[in-house]
Amino acid sequence: MPCERKPMRYGHSEGHTEVCFDDSGKFIVTCGNDGDVRIWEGLDDDDPKFITVGEKAYSLALKNGKLVTASSNNTVQIHTFPDGDPDGILTRFTTNATHVVFNSSGSRVAAGSSDFMVKVVEVSDSSQQKTLRGHEAPVLSVTFDPKDDFLASASCDGSVVVWNIEEQSQLISWPVLQKTNDISNAKSLCRLAWQPGTAKFLAVPVETKVHLYERGSWDHVSTLSDDLQTQLINVVAWSPCGQFLAAGSVGGSLTVWDVNSKLCVERYKHEKGFTVCSLAWHPSGSQIVYTDTEGCLGLLDGLTKKAAKDYDDLFDDDDDDRLMDEGLSETNSPVKKPITGDDDDDDDDFLMPATGRVRNRGAILDDENSLDTGSLKLGQDKFGDDDDTGSVVVPAAAPLVPMRPVYEGPMPTAPQKAFQPGSTPAHLTHRFMMWNSVGIVRGYNDEQDNAIDVEFHDTAVHHAMHLTNSLGHTMADLSQEAVLLACPSTDELASKLQCLHFSSWDTNKEWMVDLPEGEDVRALCLGQGWAAVATSALMLRLFSIGGIQREIFSLPGNVVCMVGHGEQLLIVYHRAPGFDGEQALGVQLLQFGRKKRQLINGEPLPLSLQSHLSWLGFTAEGTPCYVDSVGVVRMLNRSLGNTWTPVCNTRETCKSKSDHYWVVGIHENPQQLRCIPCKGSRYPPTLPRPAVAILPFKLPLCQTSTEKGQMEEQFWRSVLFHNHFSFLSSSGYEIDEDGQSQTQKEQQELLMKMFALSCKLEREFRCVELAELMTQNVVTLAIRYASRSRRMALAQRLSEIALEKANQIQEEEPEEQEEEPEYSGVRRTSGLRNVLMGYVQVLGSGKPSSSSGLPRVTNILDNMTSSRKSSPLSRSAGIPSKGPVLKPLAPRPKTKTGFQFWLEENRKSITADQPDLEETDIIKEAMGRFRTLSAEERLVRNTKGFREEGLGHMSSGHEGKVKRSRYFYSTNKAQNSTTLPR
């Protein structure tokens, strides 16, 4: 009889507690040492109703809307249920009552007391009392005969007595218990129980066994025992059908016997091993509640339902199998099975598949040795007897259901549901369906209105829209071109995808697509010129923005969410079930456009421990990033093999534990994390309109409180947030070159600062490491710094690095330009080396004012300044258009090699010589001529190209800014008001 043990929960303060169900089974009612009776609407009820009945409550009974309690003021009181109004005092004792019970009809109450007396009181008229005297010690427990003739009581004097209520006389007494002088010293509470319905048996817990006495003959007819039951049984309770008997022990074990077969059908262990001091069956017989002496409340669920099902399964089998099956299930009697939690059993858990048959077989293999036919026969015999009385309707095979092994390994986590990043939960009546960098889509779904509002941050994109949501859309995405909406399927209607293509230049601004039957939209997103939809059939469907169906492919798992940006599509899906609160997510990054390819191929998505994905998106520059529920923002690092780097922990800036930041967008340049602070919740309400805040990024490097750590963090953050430039240029977008050179400059400055710091700290090795990260011309500065601070060894090493770097740059060039002939690398290098060595020597010889030194030295510095002027990168600055960050490619000024310079100069002469040449032929011809040039001349050409490319970076950004501000000054003077938009 497999059933579910619900986790224990706090019920009362420490001490004796009692529990019962109300007549309907709707409420669990408990009383405890704190004097309260609590009425729980279920185990998960966090706010139970309570009735205070006294300083302490010792026992309670509930029937017909009357709650009877034994409290510390020596009375037995009645309260109405569930209202909890006091309804009088039923009886009093000279000391406190220990146990109260109702009879089966609810007309009488019996109470046992520590003053050795048992009283039977009519509920309707408390003056009609019968007192049963005869016990010589406090009464432990009382129970009514369901037919109302007798009453049984147990006492600390060691006896269990059956009384005739009418005659108020002892009928029989069994000295089966241990003698003690008080309840507090009694080892067991010895709660008696009379079989309901037929009233045939009285169950008496005697040490580790339960004795069954037959009504009438008062013979001890049988004993229920369990080999594994080693502790004293505290309480027993009959199931409402009278077929099962549950017992709770001092050591916290719960055992359920089938009385007909005398076999244990269920065995559980209290999770902490506390003493079970009360037990009650649900009126339907499907649940058992229990409480322990620590005041905790527990529940076993699914008892008889499962039993009935297993029984059905058995008889659904083919006739041929039936006998064997019966045999199997009998041999699987849990009496012989090792206790749950035992190591052997754990192994079984993993090996046994879920089907009943195979499980049985597995059990046989385990239990063959201990097969006990004797006990089986006993069960069969008993069945025969019971059949005569007609009280039992269940055949013998039925109760012998196998006990399902309890699995105690890691538990799978519920997979997180699909969601749209930037939306608030769908169950809200007013919600954000999408909040992204383009605008806001709000959904209203209340009595008055079912509508969708679309609003754009930038009204230049489109004016706000108000749509009636007749289809019941639940998902939305918004881009500069269109609004995409989708609804799940209903009974009649298929799942629909609706696109409002507002940027279309024709008159039809809307299209709609029905998904095939049985396929639901789970997630959707918009890119530039395309829309993507992930469906419940693990399918990804691509559409053009105009409504043409495009590629379709299968997803490896259930989609969690996806986002699009430009030509990139990022999909996150469930890879596998996660365990112990983790989610196992996978990520795919695809790129469309001319070269369609998959950039990230289903790699696991790293999440913080015990968290789920809460936001997924691209930075405005097109780098994928995501936020998990713990608040850590991670960004793709394309330069480190597509790894994910944590760039911010939003929880660090939260003031209180329940505050969160709801991320709406990320920008790399300037570095901004745009989010909405939510006080005490995970997402913002639609009203009042939330305001966007900006958080800074911070890489979680060590020791960021120190100057060194700070600079390292700044540097690597700058490097990370600089990656998008190379990505954008490689995928053919125009890039903000000002910004790029600015960040490069910033990085080099940081490196120089770190260099200076390391120099100060006498960490020369570290200096060299830093120099390796520098560009060649900054290394020259570093050399200067080193030689000024009289670190000759360092300067020497740095000059070597500078040479290497110079070589690298020059080696890269010919690779780029493959036509370049074999070059005289040795010569060039040696030439440069001379230059640098000379430089070092000059500085080392104590003449830092280098300009007066060797002409070669001044040459280097001159180059730097002169290249500043001729830099091709310093564009004439205007108002940089601030529109979408992605711009189609403008022909990018390519870095020119020496050959190209030469070609430009000499093109005319070539064309003059041979005017009928095609473009490619001209280049071929030019190549030939270039090769014939002397090595020196080529070197000049090459270095010219190199200078213009390499040295331009440092200065251009600064210059651009100066120019721009000058520009503004003039425009402001001329027409101040026109700079404002209108």
Partner 1 sequence: MDSSEVEFLAEKEMVKIIPNFSLDRIYLIGGDLGPFNPGLPVDVPVWLALNLKQRQKCRIVPPAWMDVEKLEEMRELERKEDTFTPVPSPYYMELTKLLLNYASDNIPKADEIRTLVKDIWDTRIAKLRLSADSFISQLEAHAKLDNLTLMEINTIRAFLLDSLNCMYKLRSNLQPGSSKGQFTDY
The burial class, CB within 10 Å (0-12 / 13-18 / 19+), for 545 is buried
Which strand (E) or helix (H) includes residue 974? Answer: helix 952-974
674 binds partner 1 per the rule CB under 8 A: yes
Task: Please give the distance of CA 394 from its chain centroid, rounded to a whole number.
Answer: 46
Residue 680 binds to partner 1 (criterion: CB under 8 A): no
Residue 250 has a CB neighbour count (10 Å cut-off) of 20
Which residue matches tokens 């501000």?
A: 965
Residue 979 in the binding site for partner 1 (CB under 8 A): yes
CB of 437 to partner 1, least distance (A): 8
Are 84 and 66 in contact, with CB atoms under 8 Å apart? no
Quick one: 687 or 890, whose CB is closer to partner 1? 687
Query: What's the min distance (Å) between Cβ of 469 and partner 1?
Result: 23
Q: Minimum distance between the CB of residue 667 and partner 1, rounded to whole angstroms?
A: 9
Q: Six-digit token pair at 519?
A: 């396929």
d(CA 267, CA 303): 11
With CB under 8 A as the contact rule, the residue among 324, 879, 889, 962 that binds partner 1 is 879
Q: Where are the beta strands (DSSP E) in 41-74?
A: 49-52, 57-63, 66-71
Residue among 323, 354, 609, 691 that touches partner 1 (CB under 8 A)? 691
Residues 6+ apart with CB under 8 A from 790: none
In DSSP notation, 710-766 reads HHHHHHHHHHHTTHHHHHHHHTTB---HHHHHHHHHHHHHHHHHHHHHHHHTT-HHH
**Residue 711, both tokens:** 């600079």
**Does residue 877 bind partner 1 (CB under 8 A)?**
no
3-state secondary structure (DSSP) of residue 454: strand
Give the residue, chosen from 374, 390, 688, 888, that forms a contact with partner 1 under the rule CB under 8 A: 688
| C-alpha to C-alpha distances, 529 to 198, 525, 550, 596, 968, nearest whole angstrom | 78, 11, 11, 14, 36
Q: Smaller CB distance to partner 1: residue 333 or 743?
A: 743
Q: Which of 882, 908, 915, 974 binds partner 1 (CB under 8 A)?
A: 882
Q: Quick check: 890 binds partner 1 (CB under 8 A)? A: no
Least spacing, CB of residue 617 vs partner 1, in Å: 15
Verify cis geometry, omega within 30 degrees of 0, for the bond prior to 415. Answer: no
Rule CB under 8 A: choose which of 594, 657, 760, 982 binds partner 1.
982
Q: Is 694 in the site for partner 1 (CB under 8 A)?
A: yes
* Start-to-end C-alpha separation, the chain: 77
Q: Does 460 bind partner 1 (CB under 8 A)?
A: yes
From the list 17-25, 826-834, 904-912, 969-977, the region that binds partner 1 by CB under 8 A is 969-977
Exposed/middle/buried for residue 973 (C-beta within 10 Å: 0-12, 13-18, 19+): exposed
Q: How far is CA 742 from CA 647, 670, 717, 878, 956, in A?
A: 21, 11, 14, 17, 8
Considering only the stretches 273-281, 367-375, 457-465, 716-724, report the one whose residues sit in contact with partner 1 under the rule CB under 8 A. Answer: 457-465
Q: Does residue 457 interact with partner 1 by CB under 8 A?
A: yes
Q: How far is the CB of 692 from partner 1 (least distance, A)?
A: 6
Nearest residue (CB) to partner 1, 56 versus 462: 462
Nearest alpha carbon to residue 98 among 56, 52, 157? 56
Asked whether position 976 contacts partner 1 by CB under 8 A, the answer is: yes
What are residue 397's phi and psi, to 5 degrees? -65, -25
Is 930 in a helix, a strand, or coil? helix
Site for partner 1 in 949-968 (CB under 8 A): 965, 968
609 vs 687 by CB, closer to partner 1: 687
Please list the residues that pair with 310 across neighbouring strands. Answer: none
CB of 688 to partner 1, least distance (A): 5
Any contact of residue 765 with partner 1 (CB under 8 A)? Answer: no
Q: Does 681 bind partner 1 (CB under 8 A)?
A: no
The number of helix segments (H) and strand segments (E) in the chain equals: 17, 51
Using CB under 8 A, which of 7, 880, 893, 928 touches partner 1?
A: 880
- Shortest distance, CB of residue 280 to partner 1, whole angstroms? 50
- What's the chain's Rg over C-alpha atoms? 42
770 to 799, contacts with partner 1 by CB under 8 A? none
* Smallest distance, partner 1 to C-beta of residue 760, A: 36
CB of 877 to partner 1, least distance (A): 11
Q: Does 978 bind partner 1 (CB under 8 A)?
A: no
Told to check if 981 binds partner 1 by CB under 8 A, we report yes
Q: Work out the angle at residue 769's Cα, subtended by the Cα atoms of residues 955 and 829, and round it to the nearest 5 degrees.
A: 65
Q: Which of 426, 471, 538, 692 is the binder for partner 1 (CB under 8 A)? A: 692
User: Which residues in the 424-443 window bind partner 1 by CB under 8 A?
Assistant: 437, 439
Residue 554 or 881 with smaller CB distance to partner 1: 881
Closest separation between CB of residue 668 and partner 1, Å?
A: 14
CA distances (Å), origin 941, targets 507, 828, 931: 57, 12, 12
876 makes contact with partner 1 (CB under 8 A) = no
Long-range contacts of 380-389 (CB under 8 A, 24+ apart): 382/222, 382/260, 382/261, 382/262, 383/260, 383/261, 386/260, 389/198, 389/200
Q: State which residue, 52 or 459, has the beta carbon closest to partner 1.
A: 459
Are the CB atoms for 347 and 337 separated by under 8 Å? no
Buried b (16+ CB within 10 A) or exposed e, 563-592: bbbbbbbbbbbbbeebeeebbbbbbbbbbb
Which of 41, 458, 580, 913 is close enough to bind partner 1 by CB under 8 A? 458
Q: Assess 655 for contact with partner 1 (CB under 8 A).
A: no
The window from 465-473, 798-806, 828-836, 878-886 that contacts partner 1 (CB under 8 A) reads 878-886
Q: Exposed, middle or buried by CB within 10 Å (0-12, 13-18, 19+), for 844?
A: middle
Sole binder of partner 1 in the list 174, 456, 661, 785 (CB under 8 A): 456
* Separation of alpha carbons 977 and 733, rounded Å: 33
Shortest Å, Cβ 425 to partner 1: 22
Note whether 227 binds partner 1 by CB under 8 A: no
User: Toward partner 1, which CB reaches closer, 674 or 947?
Assistant: 674
Taking the least distance from each CB to partner 1, the nearer of 674 and 868 is: 674
Show contacts with partner 1 in window 831-850 (CB under 8 A): none
- Exactly one of 323, 609, 974, 980 binds partner 1 (CB under 8 A); that residue is 980
969 near partner 1 (CB under 8 A): yes
> Of these, 105, 129, 429, 459, which contacts partner 1 (CB under 8 A)?
459
882 CB-near residues (< 8 Å, 6+ apart): none
What does the block give as tokens for 338?
């090792």
Position 825 contacts partner 1 (CB under 8 A): no
Q: What is the closest distance, in whole angstroms, from the C-beta atom of residue 670 to partner 1 in the complex? A: 9
Q: How many residues lie near partner 1 (CB under 8 A)?
A: 27
Q: Indicate the residue type of 771.
A: A
Give the rounded distance of the alpha carbon of 683 from its chain centre.
16
| Contact positions vs partner 1 (CB under 8 A) | 437, 439, 456-460, 674, 688-689, 691-694, 879-880, 882-883, 965, 968-969, 972, 976, 979-982
